[in-house]
A = this chain, B = another copy of it.
Amino acid sequence: MEDFQTRLRSHTAEVEEIIKSFLPKEEGRLKTLLSAMNYSFLVGGKRLRPMLMLETYRLFGGDDPAIRNFMAAIEMIHTYSLIHDDLPAMDNDEYRRGKKTTWVKYGEDIAVLAGDGLLNMAFEIAIEGGIAAREMDRGLYALRVMAKKAGVYGMIGGQTVDVENEGKQLNLETLEFIHRNKTSALIEASMVCGAIIGGSDEATARRIETAAGDIGLAFQIRDDILDVIGEEEKLGKPIGSDEKNEHMTYVSMVGLEKANQRVKDLSEQAMQIIADIPHENPFLMELLRSLIEREY
């Protein structure tokens, strides 16, 4: 039997193919802008959000090509947020995943516009998906969820509170607010859109939302833990970089043991919610477990 890493690779390739099919052609007067958008999108990463969406959709036995639009849209939203996050006025990051960030490669002006372009394009694609869904009420429900979770009362809100507290003493409540919005909100959007387009009823989608929120938070605390105990080469960034930046982390606030316990509690709760759903997707369970137990 294949191991998880092999399955993960083939699932990632499948997701990549789907989301890439929505990228614009780099041609005409807008070639530079479109290249900057595609460059940022293709620098890649784990494609976690569209993968969670697809696997949650499959959990419910989904059979609607509109899921493809929502997968591309959520990854575009994630990508635009990274482009703007990396700007000199924000985190001022020059490299991401070993490659130059968008503003370094294309200039700050094009980076602002490429981010705007991806956010707008995400909505164009999600709107098409919502309208084309086999059951339009499901499509439009998913569209609303995605829009809300990406916005000021979701991801942008988390990002803002994070930026405002850079270098400041945080309390645990504020840190959880940041994680639950900056990170969890798009995980929630991914899994709820997957559930709804996949055929879930609304009450179940709300339970999925709770589980997704907890998974996002656990994922982020795990990230903080890895930053402390992780191995530099596996992680791809200097160990302790968050501490160096005077970034308050979960671990620095409650200690390693309590942080580990919190990850465990959140994960168990979340996994139980998914396990209680009377359908099965073993790969989704493996994937979720890998996010929480990952060592890289």
Contacts and interface: CB of A to CB of B under 8 A. Distances in A.
Interface stretch (A49-57, A110-118, A272-280): A110-118
A147 B127 contact: yes
Given A108-B89, A140-B131, A120 B33 contact: no
A84 B113 CA distance: 8
A28 to B, nearest CB: 9
A121 interface: yes
Nearest to A154: B120
A161 B109 CA distance: 11
A143 B151 CA distance: 18
A29 interface: yes
Interface in A134-172: 140, 143-144, 147-148, 150-153, 156-157, 159-161, 163-164
B116 A84 contact: yes
A90 interface: yes
23 contacts: A29-B157, A29-B177, A30-B152, A30-B157, A30-B161, A33-B157, A33-B160, A89-B103, A89-B107, A89-B112, A109-B163, A110-B163, A113-B156, A113-B160, A116-B116, A120-B156, A121-B151, A123-B123, A123-B147, A124-B144, A124-B148, A127-B144, A131-B140
Interface of A: 24, 29-30, 32-34, 37, 80, 84, 87-90, 103, 107-113, 115-117, 119-121, 123-124, 127-128, 131, 140, 143-144, 147-148, 150-153, 156-157, 159-161, 163-164, 174, 177
